[in-house]
Structure 1
């Protein structure tokens, strides 16, 4: 039989990623004022959604996207460190810049809602972006640092190009923190900075020497880097933040002594399991000219805006990747026939139940992440209350860690929903899973984020503010809706009590990770309830579904297990450290349990 003969599977069609999304349009309709949403933003998102499945998807095809190459020497043996990226990678980056990412955030046409609009555009593109938003997220963070701490010269010459919509002149920024001795522990930073005793329009000039173990925007135009300006034994308190010009045009403008690379040498590209199109490299800095950003020896504090912004971006990437996997699985169910061609998968209750469980996770994560985005926009525009500022500080590590943990597992379920076809590279789900796995590591592992969460709740009042905010949403529930979700609300209230009990001082260190997951479940449930209240009160189409999603999420087995895990850690805290060590390393080294 010829391949053209016999049964032919009908290809699935995903549809517009904005208009066909089960959660995003309704969520934005609630969060953005009607005039802005109806007259401008929704129309733009509908247009851009069409661009994603046509122009942008064409740019991300496998024949246009390939791993970068590093040419270290020319044919005469001269060191050139030429980084060659694929046409598709460059096109995707240019498209995002033209679409206003990250420009929208700083033009602030829609004030505090600009973050919602810009991230919504990124959200529906991220599944086809091949991680191009990794360097653009760092560009976003760099723009915020320059806006807050940059010299007047940086604000005049650098900031406009970081947020430019013109790809031919726009800058991309890297973030160079990670070094060989410390990884996430920057206190062991070896890179040293020496003042040159000179300055120009960009500020005070320094010379940097050291080695950076990971650089995820190696094809960038500038970088923000930490370097040591204090004694080695001062740890992170002896670090300062610097802006490094990289490319030829910049170096000429800034008067660098090394025309092509400003003393930056690329030693090798990282061989990663995913994010293959993204150039990640090991770099050495050799008398690299850099400019001090912010106060001396306060580098860790000065780079915090970058970390906070890129962690939100990481969550967007996790959930945006899940969005595409869910869209593929749903579209496939609309065309795949079984039982001798008599039934579509969409008519098989057991299969639809599997898709509904993925959908539930997706909706919860989407509401959680855009809840944090709303807070970020309000804080940046100076309209956030003190409680909202504190909640953003607490939510930033939570949304990043919780989304990274939950999204990839749900992506795997979406892959299985296509059977053998899901395991094929052509569906793109495999790439999305590989790329999604990095979000559990970049910008802080779940353990690092959990410890950051503990720091954000050192003041007991912060956690009480979160609980008070949660109860303020619960108390808004109208009688008609309360009847349908009362049991779920009672369960949620009990879990809020459990959370407060778990953080009674002294807080055991081992509670950090389970508490991040537990608060992630609670916060996402509260956002789902808030949306169900809005939907019910307005009589929105599908308000019963919003109530059912909230009810199911609270009753989800993983949510119940998270509470049990928290309770177990609290009760076993005296013995957990020793027994964990014995399980991992053997009892002979830990005889006393």
Structure 2
């Protein structure tokens, strides 16, 4: 039989990712002022159409490919030319034209600009081929310069970092990771030596060292930590620097592009990664590289924190954006695939729809959780956040990044299985999305690293207190009719809040941090779903009953009870358990049971 004969599979068709989304339009109706909503929704509807047509076409076929490094030319001279694919460059340009990250700094919509911009990120990230990695660091670098940069840095670089014109715009990298410490920057080996030269950009230094992970190696500038004090001082002797990747950085459009090694930056090799294959990630040597101090000396860890906070929110958006696309594919497929001898579409098979429904509930929970942090970030940047909201954001930033990274990849795999063997084919995009999503478990801090960050934040009891007070206020404001329908869910949620309060009392037990973060993720996402269900009920929204049921199911069936048990076990664990863990993993160690 010829392939054209016999049964033909009906291709699925994805709908506009904004208008067909089960979460975002309703969420925006709740959190955006009505006078802004119409304008923003019109743009998101238009942009959704662009995502599945022109933007998707930019990354189709062989247009997007892994980068290539040419270290030496024909004559044996070191050139370090980094070649990226046409699709990679075009996708980056498309995002910049759409105002990513410009929207955040134009602030036309004030404190809501973050919500608007990240809504666009959510819609595009599944088709972005990781161009949002450099754009997220560009965003973070812009914020650092906005807060701490010299007048000349703000004048020369901020307009470029936040430009909608790809021919003028800069992108930025962030170089922290080194071989001795990974996320532990206290052992940073890169040394910054003053050159006693001051120019329009400020105090110039010469950097010497090795950066083991530099994503966005094709950027124009980077921010990096380097040592300006003794090794014994650890992270207290680190400062933050702005590094031009080529010199001269500021030149007229008619001047030729300088050599990639013009600022004494040498690419040792490109990383061979499990995923994010189109993203140029490299090992770099800095050998007398010119750089400029940002902010005060020996305040590098503090000064780079805006970059980390912003990129962690981008990371969370990457997780849920990848899940969004996987769910869109799975849902579209269920509308065309017939089973039971061709008599029943998958969308009419209860067992199949039940599987999809559980994934959609998780997607709703994660989306409400992450946009809760985005909303607070927008308020903080516009100076309208209360002290309590800033404290809440301090806890939520590491939570949304880690919790989304933990939950999304498994759900993406589950969505893949709903297509059966068809889901395992590379053409669908599942493989790339799942591989790329795994980096979010590591990038900008693993779940364990971020859980320890929350434990540090909890050293000030007012931070956890602000989170608990807000959450209990949401519960208290839920209508009586909802409270009656959700009695068991609300009781479990209150138990979770009580356990957070108990577990984060000082001193925090050594095994609590990681399960504690996951419990916070479960509880806070449920609180946001309750807040949305309350609004939906009060505003007589058409999907009010669905919003209420989503809250109930997520709270009762989404893993909160297990997370609660895990934290209780960690809090009450004795030293015997810790010693047993060591003996279990390292049977030849001297740990005694």
TM-score with structure 1 setting the length: 0.98
Matches within 5 A, 1:476-555: 476-555=477-556
Deviation at 1:252? 5.2
SS at match of 2:69: strand
Q: Tell me the distance in 2 between the aligned counterparts of 1:166 and 1:576.
A: 58
Deviation at 1:249? 5.4
Q: Tell me the distance in 2 between the aligned counterparts of 1:201 and 1:306.
A: 24
SS at match of 1:240: strand
Kept in 1: contact 2:582–2:591 (CA 8 A): no
* Structure 1 match to 2:189: 190
Deviation at 1:557? 5.1
Q: Tell me the distance in 1 between the aligned counterparts of 2:375 and 2:126.
A: 22
Deviation at 1:481? 2.2
Deviation at 1:257? 11
Matches within 5 A, 1:449-468: 449-468=450-469
Deviation at 1:248? 5.1
* Matched pairs, number: 590
* Structure 2 match to 1:444: 445
Q: Tell me the distance in 1 between the aligned counterparts of 2:527 and 2:558.
A: 17
* Structure 1 match to 2:205: 206
SS at match of 2:3: coil
Deviation at 1:501? 1.9
Kept in 2: contact 1:196–1:207 (CA 8 A): yes
Shift in alpha-carbon separation, 1:402–1:573, aligned structure 2, 3 A:
farther
Q: Tell me the distance in 2 between the aligned counterparts of 1:160 and 1:467.
A: 40
* Structure 2 match to 1:301: 302
SS at match of 1:15: coil
Kept in 2: contact 1:70–1:83 (CA 8 A): yes
* Structure 1 match to 2:399: 398
Shift in alpha-carbon separation, 1:573–1:96, aligned structure 2, 3 A:
farther
Q: Tell me the distance in 1 between the aligned counterparts of 2:248 and 2:84.
A: 19
1:220 corresponds to 2:219: yes
Q: Structure 2 unaligned runs (5+)?
A: none
* Structure 1 match to 2:52: 53
Deviation at 1:576? 2.3
1:581 corresponds to 2:582: yes
Q: Tell me the distance in 2 between the aligned counterparts of 1:26 and 1:523.
A: 19
SS at match of 1:520: helix
SS at match of 1:509: coil
SS at match of 1:510: coil
Matches within 5 A, 1:294-443: 294-443=295-444
Q: Tell me the distance in 1 between the aligned counterparts of 2:452 and 2:224.
A: 23
Deviation at 1:507? 1.0
* Structure 1 match to 2:33: 33
Deviation at 1:397? 0.5
Q: Tell me the distance in 2 between the aligned counterparts of 1:47 and 1:261.
A: 43
Shift in alpha-carbon separation, 1:47–1:333, aligned structure 2, 3 A:
same
SS at match of 2:394: helix
Kept in 2: contact 1:59–1:92 (CA 8 A): yes
SS at match of 2:289: strand
* Structure 1 match to 2:118: 119
Aligned CA-pair RMSD: 1.4
* Structure 2 match to 1:22: 22
Q: Tell me the distance in 1 between the aligned counterparts of 2:258 and 2:20.
A: 53
Kept in 1: contact 2:454–2:517 (CA 8 A): yes
Q: Tell me the distance in 2 between the aligned counterparts of 1:589 and 1:172.
A: 49
Kept in 2: contact 1:511–1:570 (CA 8 A): yes
Q: Tell me the distance in 2 between the aligned counterparts of 1:258 and 1:210.
A: 20
Matches within 5 A, 1:131-280: 131-247=130-246, 250=249, 260-280=261-281
Runs of 4+ in 1 over 4 A off after TM superposition: 251-254, 256-260
SS at match of 1:83: strand
* Structure 2 match to 1:287: 288
Q: Tell me the distance in 1 between the aligned counterparts of 2:305 and 2:582.
A: 33
SS at match of 1:8: coil
Give a deviation string over 1:55-82, Cα, whole Å, max 9, x none.
1100111311110000111112111100
Q: Tell me the distance in 2 between the aligned counterparts of 1:503 and 1:233.
A: 31
SS at match of 1:325: helix
SS at match of 1:227: strand
1:13 corresponds to 2:13: yes
Shift in alpha-carbon separation, 1:274–1:122, aligned structure 2, 3 A:
same
Kept in 2: contact 1:242–1:290 (CA 8 A): yes
Shift in alpha-carbon separation, 1:357–1:103, aligned structure 2, 3 A:
same
SS at match of 1:17: coil
Deviation at 1:90? 0.3
Kept in 2: contact 1:510–1:573 (CA 8 A): no
Kept in 1: contact 2:580–2:592 (CA 8 A): no
Deviation at 1:238? 0.7
Shifted more, 477-486 versus 171-180: the winner is 477-486
Give a deviation string over 1:342-370, Cα, whole Å, max 9, x none.
00000000000000011011000000000
SS at match of 2:574: helix
Give a deviation string over 1:166-214, Cα, whole Å, max 9, x none.
0001000000000111111111111111111111111111111111000
Give a deviation string over 1:220-244, Cα, whole Å, max 9, x none.
0000011111012111111110000
Give a deviation string over 1:290-321, Cα, whole Å, max 9, x none.
00000001111000000000000000000000
Q: Tell me the distance in 1 between the aligned counterparts of 2:433 and 2:469.
A: 37
* Structure 2 match to 1:572: 573
